[in-house]
Structure 1
């Protein structure tokens, strides 16, 4: 094969969407994207497309891609790198995936060292269900299974509304998401996920990119606030933020509760409101993804609302060594 390796450009996003949606079907991930969403992703904070992405072309056909992200901040002194990508079904087992990983693992060492000099680093990659080809390749390259995640969904006939009630004189109030709360929620998110595996704190720019994205659904997102004695501004205790990647299917992307407020049913109440609003607005189902070993007992919260598991995936991790190379390219972009 005479394949061309390049980086992903603005004009490539339609071909990128077609390949990504092909992979969603053949790999049973249901991760479908529109070209507009991938264009936003291509220019998210910290992304350098000419260095952090790779496109594989067979003539005018995009047959493989990969992209890399490095957390802007350390978590417990670790620089976290994630690599995502895929190869068209017809082009697998021909070395394409191996070359993509060679390129981006080298870039991972370089960029991590630039952003976080002296800090240890690890690369994470998704392997889908056990036995999937991506997982087999990960293990062949020295990655080890590090965490298991479940995709869960609930439909109208399965939904069980939360029984938690907020009294009329209660200091607690459920509100729809609005930008005025963005910074308070971002800080709470960083606190809430500080004890979650694989998470890194989000910067203000990253939070703005997420909540201003085309797919973000403020109208189907909720926050719980508490009036503070002597303070004009309530404190945010919990939040559930939603997106719509697939038409008529709501995806709850972020759920969190202040650590001193866990175990009180707040997340379940907010999610219950989100699900009810989504179903009333015509969504056919609500989905989310959860760490099976979540320290908050999130799986139980979701099951009580009627969520059930639709698929299980594996996150693989490998520690990486530093590289002093000035360039990580093993190809010359066109």
Structure 2
């Protein structure tokens, strides 16, 4: 607490962002540039999957996923995206700048983009990334949120060295490292999953729409001490569910929470407090799963993927998260999936790495976030 009290106050975000008045032109490659629109989804899908194949990335996307990207109401494609087309009208490069409405601790501008493998080495990526950085600074400055700020990118650890060099030459520094892990489900008799008995008023339930917003509130609470995580608004939470599998997703609810104690806890957020006063369900742990069939051939095996897993801070140590995860993995196995998979921050504050190792997970891939902190 003392460190926070003696820290230097932040300058206004408009000053720290140092946003340019105009955006730099993209001259390399002789492409024609314009903002993305929803009708570009098929061409964008083809480009992104072509890039993923060339870079040996362990995943592919679907048209539904790309379409969902355009459906999100907070994204401003008219100002925060560019597509580059060649003389034949083929899409050869893309760049997006994304900011999220729910950011309350660190205001972020995340940069996504790529260049077709046949057009690399021409300087297109360098010019495009300079545009993205400049636009990202403008987005941060215009947010009006006088919070710590971040310009960030994600990169595969075994991706093209030229891309990592571009990021680092542009002033971004590796800040966070992530690992993807998997757990073999093919012989649960030889390697059984834990059978977790929940104590007291805790109860394991399948995901249902009646618990949807309560799960969002649990997620916001569980991840508020995780670096890089920000609260999700209702619209953020409900977007991007084309791969979501409700029957593979499980929750732990508290049927008789100590409402008075939770309301007296200064860590209880306002939305959770309002839900408690209204007598709404209290989700205390959750496992939200997805199915990515298009990745099966790339990986060489079938798998169920846990997209989100967490436990409310007040309920940690009661094995609620393990109970939800084990239930999800049993559902994967029952549907014939050979492995369970998920991603984890290597510096996860809840000790998740040790838990996953104890459950038989092994590392199969790694990635990182690089950023400029403002």
Displacement of 1:240 = 0.7
- Return the match for 2:287 from 240, 253, 258: 240
Match of 1:157 in 2: 186
Match of 2:76 in 1: 48
Other structure's SS at 2:226 match: coil
| Contact preservation (8 Å) 1:72, 1:203 | yes
Match of 2:368 in 1: 314
What is the distance in 2 between the residues matched to 1:293 and 1:271?
20
Displacement of 1:229 = 5.9
What is the distance in 2 between the residues matched to 1:53 and 1:84?
9
Higher helix share: 2
Match of 2:49 in 1: 21
Match of 1:198 in 2: 228
Displacement of 1:226 = 1.7
Q: 1:144 to 1:179 in 2, by over 3 A?
A: same
Match of 2:94 in 1: 65
Structure 2 residue 328 is the aligned partner of structure 1 residue 300:
no
Q: 1:299 to 1:2 in 2, by over 3 A?
A: same
Match of 2:307 in 1: 253
- Return the match for 1:91 from 119, 142, 152: 119
Moved more, 96-105 or 197-206: 96-105
Displacement of 1:234 = 4.5
Q: 1:256 to 1:187 in 2, by over 3 A?
A: same
Using structure 1 for the length normalisation, give the TM-score.
Answer: 0.87
Match of 2:269 in 1: none
Match of 2:324 in 1: 270
Displacement of 1:116 = 3.0
Displacement of 1:265 = 2.2
| Contact preservation (8 Å) 1:238, 1:258 | yes
Other structure's SS at 2:30 match: coil
Displacement of 1:155 = 2.8
Q: 1:166 to 1:119 in 2, by over 3 A?
A: closer
Q: 1:116 to 1:252 in 2, by over 3 A?
A: farther
Structure 2 residue 151 is the aligned partner of structure 1 residue 123:
yes
| Contact preservation (8 Å) 1:268, 1:305 | no
Matches within 5 A, 1:159-238: 160-166=191-197, 170-210=200-240, 213-228=241-256, 234-238=281-285
What is the distance in 2 between the residues matched to 1:246 and 1:82?
27
What is the distance in 2 between the residues matched to 1:216 and 1:151?
18
For structure 2, the residue ranges without an aligned partner over 5 or more in a row are 1-28, 260-278, 295-301
| Contact preservation (8 Å) 2:285, 2:321 | yes
For structure 1, the residue ranges without an aligned partner over 5 or more in a row are 321-334
Higher strand share: 1
Q: 1:164 to 1:281 in 2, by over 3 A?
A: closer
Match of 2:13 in 1: none
Other structure's SS at 1:127 match: strand
Aligned residues: 316
